Structure 1
Amino acid sequence: MNAIIKFMKRHYKILLTIIVASVALFAFNSKSKKESDPDKDKLLLELLTFVIEKGHYSPAPIDDTFSKGVYKDYIQALDPSKRFFLQSDIDEFSKYETEIDNEILDKDLTFFNLTYDRLMERMEQSKKIYQAILTKPFDYTIDESFNTDYEKAPYAKNNDELVEKWRKQIKLSALSSLTDRLEIQEKKAKGITEEAKTGDTDELSDKAPITVPKKEAKVDDKPKTYAELEIETRENAKKSLDEYFGFMGDLNKNDWFSVFINSITAGFDPHTNYFAPEEKERFDVSMSGKLEGIGARLQKKNDFTEISELISGGPAWRGKKLEAGDIVMKVAQGDAQAVDVVGMRLDDVVKKIKGPKGTEVRLTVKKVDGTITIISIIRDIVEIEETYVKSSIVNKNGLNYGVIYLPKFYIDFEDKNGRDAGKDIALEVERLKKANVDGIVLDVRDDGGGSLSTVVDIAGLFINEGPIVQIKSAGRKKEVLFDRDKKIEWDGPLVIMVNSFSASASEILAAAIQDYKRGIIIGSKQTYGKGTVQNVIDLNQFVRNSAVGDLGALKTTTQKFYRINGGSTQLEGVSSDVVMPDRYSYLKMGERDVENAMPWDKIDAAEYTVWNKNTNFAKAIANSKERIAANEYFKLIDDNAKWIDSRSEDNNYSLNMEKFKIAQNAIEEKAKKYKPISKYKSSLIFTSLPYEIEETDKDGVLKEKRTRWHEALSKDIYVEEALNVLDDLQAKTVAKQAANTKKDKLAKS
């Protein structure tokens, strides 16, 4: 989840003063670069704990209780499904359960080294275990079962129990895959049989079978025997596990030390995290939405690096030579000698391909057709389009409405002239006004947050002026962030869409709009509930000797934010004015369900004036609630949510094929009841604004993305209801109601 990054100057300087005053603590002797340097790890441990203790909003004492929490989190992170460690390992580790706090303070790496070495040993053993298991067929006639509730499952007492646990886990996965293959083949066979009886079928529907005439059946379509499908399933299972262990093998000791460090930071609160250098870079990209490179997404395929996608508008996309599916064999910087990257870690390949704007990288790639070619690309700034705001327009009942989707509250801290969510939302609002819209829906569903300054800018677009959010630091007076611009970009009907995953900055925006009664909040019962502010601190600036290498960064909770009415969004989130049921309504997935979450509290309210131009505000909310209560689709969604919640407790699976099929068929039969939800489609037609139509005419990739988005909007019952609310908020509705009331009175008289 993205952090809220506040205006950092004031509080950052305070923290900086504290650290610089103690910089002598972190003197470091230069050593040759290697995979893991214990001196560097000790330095990082000392630096992190010192910064957290001095800069955290409410640092927990590093004591035995803290140690137990770190121990639990770390062991679970190392082996979440309990398929590596034995109970004897856990017994040995548990001796350190109340000693980690002492080791942190003494910069002692004994516990970490013990767990790391043991994990590497157990993972090597596990490779041999799964490879041996998959050499022979499973017997699916045996009446046995496997429980996937790993949290409650015990550790294996010995190697035999561990092998048995692996066997059952792999068998369950293979059984699921095999039954799917058998079912697909059975359906295909029925299609051929029916074709022989009924002849060719020209028109297909959901109910009509897809038929293949026997006379045209190819050799590839010949039904496979059970034995062939069983072998195929095991081969695929082995391939998946090989890829998993290949990925795990790419992780070095530094990566695992980051896991340990983050178990320590999580002991303070869920949003205090350590960023290793590569993670810090990814965080910066996620916040700014741009990077310097070639504009290609990569993925690991065994020992090879494959191009999975080209980013629209990037240099690789513009060059039209590199394609999705190409395998990168070598990478060269300009005229330098090419470096073989086969078998190299994905992160290391990415480092070699990325680079400053204007520099050249030459990729030796194997094309899909097997040919080898060298492709030269000049790196450039790449904007990740999915990061940025986008809008659409729709006509409903003769009125035009705008829908703005904001995936995150992005900002580029390095470039004041760069894109940020505040400026982009203002631009979209201006464009929608030119399109003469009668209302705006701002969609922040699944928006995990981002920059606090952009929230103030965005909320300010919809009010005259006034406070937006209150900030409180430990031991200091509250700070109120204001919108001081009296200009209102949009004073018409407004709806904010949220869900359970709308967090942090999204919650500040929704809370401000709700407190002002400026717009109607519609969505899940409540938002995520993250009411804390984080600062990202580059750790490298606190070390005298640059030979230490990159230490990464620390994101630590330094403040809490509060609504202008004084209440915190921490844990409680923002309650929607209109609650719409969704699939996750009954599942535990908010801040209130996370360990070490900070508590809810309240401070004094700020002074603000409630918006008084929404004449039929209450009526619009009442109308929406009535529609939702009467809507059969919403009833079905709520019923589905209850079923999903009940299914979350069902973790026991039979490994007997017949019993497994019966259970799965029962689930599928029940699931059929909810299929209409996915097939819902409104009659609404969403289109791009004129400026974007010009862009999509030139960019086929962007055009396809927008077409998919518009189709998704037309199938989104939540968006449709948000537009219904905009209808009810129209001033014409009030006038019409007043006219009807007057007419009724005259008729009675």
Structure 2
Amino acid sequence: MQRPSINRGTSRWTRFLAVSTLLVAGMSACLWTLCARELDGQRDQDRRVTKVVTTLMSREHLSQKEIDDEVSRRGLKTFLKTLDPMKLYFYQADIDQAMAKQTDLDDEIDNGNIQFAYDLFDTFLKRVDERVAQVNTLLGQKHDFTVDEEMITDADVLSYPKDSTEAAERWRKRIKYDLLVLKADKTEGQEAIDKLRRRYENFAKRMKQTKSDDLLEMYLTAMTSSFDPHTTYMSPSTLENFRIQMRLNLEGIGAALSNIDGYTTISKVIPGGAADKHGKLKPEDRVVSVGQGEEGEMVDVVDMSLNDVVGMIRGKAGTVVRLGVIPDGSTETKIYAITRERIELEDSAARADIIEEKDSDDASYKIGVIDLPSF
């Protein structure tokens, strides 16, 4: 079939960067203004990017494979596993309906059509809501820990639940197992119940914050990894993180962040960075709002995806970002204005050393040691 033409004399890196530039241009109007959760369907940008990626894969991949029915079948299985690795959410009927399309997807993506991914993800979100409702019901019930029961944890030998009754039984055992794990960690009673409720509700919130770029990355990576497991498609945010890892520097405040129960939490302050020089931001502090510049509106970031919060905090060196922070052990929100700087990620840099040793005959020899912290 007819494929988009590409100048064969252009380097692979130039083509790769051309795709990235296209994505970043389309992203600026969406990511930084925080698009709504609803994924209404395929965008024109999805179609353009998909056609370029499929063309590059067919023409430039070392395997010299075409995107065919076999790639389509493997890609669909990978996509399903990415969404529901433990077979906890989809019904078997959902899978049967998806698998009926397994030999059509190669033709669809060759034409830039990924509407299937949107439809399947919409089904996934519905199932997540159903399971969270089941979890809340199960957490309100008493569980008998004196009964011997078995739970299969190997997804490869599991089938998908055929109906809500089978799903409820699988989740009953899952919640009972979760409670036992917490009990072993000395977390019991209402504290354990509240912790599990937050865990699964937060998972649902994160899934509903998935953006079109995220879904495109999941779906295209499922297809590209069908050529070989090391071929992936990167969204703009993933590409930027990859570049940061490669060049070992970034522009921001110099703090590592994590998401704990819906709160963006400081996990580490990088020595010598802007936050460290500011002196007030500490590990375990929670960031609840972010504002740009000295007077920009403070945007509530509680329950916001970590990638979005990171994107708001990063910025050009010399500019100011204001953080609404609840210090560890406090309930009062404080506003910290921090001037962004260029941060060198020295802890991630490769290191080499030579160690001199002696063997049993007292003869000296040298050992070369290479440390790759980011590998």
Q: TM-score, normalised by structure 1?
A: 0.43
**Structure 1: how far apart are the matches of 2:274 and 2:26?**
42
Verify the 8 A CA contact 1:331 1:361 in the aligned structure 2.
Answer: yes
1:365 to 1:74, Cα distance in 2 relative to 1, 3 A: same
Q: Which amino acid aligns with 1:376?
A: A
What SS does the aligned partner of 1:145 have?
Answer: coil
Q: How far 1:383 moved relative to its partner?
A: 1.2
Q: Displacement, 1:317?
A: 0.8
Contact (CA 8 Å) 1:60, 1:66: kept in 2 or not? no
**For 1:274-313, what per-residue CA distance to the aligned partner results, in whole angstroms no more than 9, with x for missing partners?**
1111100100011111101110111223342221210111
TM-fit CA distance, 1:114: 2.3
Alignment of 1:248-647 (within 5 A): 248-343=207-302, 344-368=304-328, 369-390=330-351, 439-444=366-371, 448=375
**Correspondence 1:200-215 to 2 at 5 A:** none
1:51 alignment counterpart: 56
Whole-Å separation in 2 of the counterparts to 1:180 and 1:313: 36
Tell me how far apart the structure 2 counterparts of residues 295 and 281 of structure 1 sit (CA, whole Å): 16
Matched, 1:42 2:42: no
Partner of 1:223: none
Letter aligned with residue 246 of structure 1:
K
Report how far residue 438 of structure 1 moved. 6.8
| TM-aligned CA deviation for residue 30 of structure 1 | 12
Q: Aligned equivalents of 1:291 and 1:163: distance in 2?
A: 46
Q: Do the aligned partners of 2:49 and 2:112 also contact (CA within 8 Å) in 1? A: no
**Structural RMSD (CA):** 3.2
Residues 1:17 and 1:234: Cα distance change in structure 2 (over 3 Å): closer
Residue number in structure 1 paired with 2:138: 133
* Structure 2 CA distance for aligned equivalents of residues 159 and 43 of structure 1: 39
Q: CA deviation at 1:235?
A: 3.0
SS at match of 1:65: helix
**Residue type of the alignment partner of 2:266:** I
User: How many Å apart are 1:393 and its aligned residue?
Assistant: 8.3
Query: Are the aligned partners of 2:348 and 2:373 in contact in 1 as well (CA < 8 Å)?
Result: no
Q: Deviations over 1:231-280 (max 9, x none)?
A: 44333322332333333333234322321111111122112111111100
2:181 counterpart SS class: helix
Contact 2:351 2:371 in 1 (8 A): no
Q: Counterpart of 1:347 in structure 2: which amino acid? A: N
Contact 1:85–1:155 (CA under 8 A) maintained in structure 2: yes
The 3-state SS of whatever aligns with 2:118 is helix
For residue 42 of structure 1, report the CA deviation from its aligned partner. Answer: 1.1
Cα 1:69/1:396, change in 2 over 3 Å: closer
- Give me the whole-angstrom Cα distance separating, in 2, the residues matched to 1:180 and 1:371: 30
Give the equivalent residue in structure 1 for 2:68: 63
Match in the other structure for 2:124: 119
Amino acid at match of 2:269: L
Say whether residues 1:148 and 2:107 are aligned partners: no
User: In structure 2, what is the equivalent of residue 239 of structure 1?
Assistant: 198
> What do the CA deviations read for 1:706-733 (whole angstroms, capped 9, x no partner)?
xxxxxxxxxxxxxxxxxxxxxxxxxxxx
Question: Structure 1 residues 373 and 52 mapped into 2: Cα distance closer, same or farther (>3 Å)?
Answer: same
- Mark the CA change 1:318 to 1:128 in structure 2 (over 3 Å): closer, same or farther: same
Q: 1:180 to 1:299 in 2, by over 3 A?
A: closer
Could you say if the C-alpha distance between residues 31 and 275 of structure 1 is closer, same or farther in structure 2, counting changes exceeding 3 Å? closer
AA in 2 matched with 1:242: E
Aligned to 1:683: none
Structure 2 CA distance for partners of 1:267 and 1:389, relative to 1, 3 Å: closer
State how far apart, in whole Å, the 2-side matches of 1:381 and 1:29 are. 26
Could you tell me which runs of 5 or more consecutive residues in structure 2 were left unpaired when the two chains were aligned: 1-7, 18-22
- 1:505-532 deviation per Cα after TM superposition (whole angstroms, max 9, x unaligned): xxxxxxxxxxxxxxxxxxxxxxxxxxxx
Name the aligned partner's letter for residue 324 of structure 2: T
Other structure's SS at 2:343 match: strand
Following superposition, the deviation at residue 100 of structure 1 comes to 0.8
Count of aligned residue pairs for this structure pair: 348
2:235 partner amino acid: A
Give percent identity, aligned residues only.
29
Q: 1:317 to 1:130 in 2, by over 3 A?
A: same
What is the identity, as a one-letter code, of the residue corresponding to 1:379? R
Q: CA–CA distance in 2 between the matches of 1:31 and 1:334?
A: 19
Match of 1:102 in 2: 107
Aligned to 1:415: none
Q: What SS does the corresponding residue of 1:92 show, helix, strand or coil?
A: helix
Given that 2:217 and 2:235 are in contact with CA atoms closer than 8 Å, whether structure 1 keeps it comes out as yes
User: Aligned-pair distance for 1:390?
Assistant: 4.3
Closer/same/farther in 2, CA of residues 14 and 363 from structure 1, 3 Å limit: closer
* 2-structure distance, mates of 1:385, 1:242: 37
Q: Distance in 2 between matches of 1:318 and 1:30?
A: 32
Query: For 2:348 and 2:372, how far apart are their aligned partners in 1?
Result: 14
2-structure distance, mates of 1:90, 1:81: 14
2-structure distance, mates of 1:443, 1:16: 28
| CA displacement 1:117-171 (0-9 Å, x = unmatched) | 1111111111101111111221122232111011110110101101111111121
How far residue 110 of structure 1 moved from its aligned partner, in angstroms, is 3.8
In 2: Cα distance, 1:42 partner to 1:103 partner? 10
Return the letter of the residue paired with 1:66. V
Q: TM-score, normalised by structure 2?
A: 0.83
Q: 1:16 to 1:149 in 2, by over 3 A?
A: closer
Question: Which residue of 84, 98, 106 corresponds with 1:79?
Answer: 84
2:20 counterpart residue number: none
The structural deviation recorded for 1:18 is: 8.2
Match for residue 166 of structure 1?
171
Q: Deviations over 1:465-501 (max 9, x none)?
A: xxxxxxxxxxxxxxxxxxxxxxxxxxxxxxxxxxxxx
The 1-side partners of 2:372 and 2:157 are apart by 33
How far did 1:391 drift?
A: 6.2
- How has the CA–CA distance of structure 1 residues 319 and 32 changed in structure 2, closer, same or farther, with 3 Å as cutoff? closer
Change (3 A) 1:384 1:238: same
**Cα distance in 2 between the residues matched to 1:234 and 1:292:** 41
Change (3 A) 1:128 1:19: closer
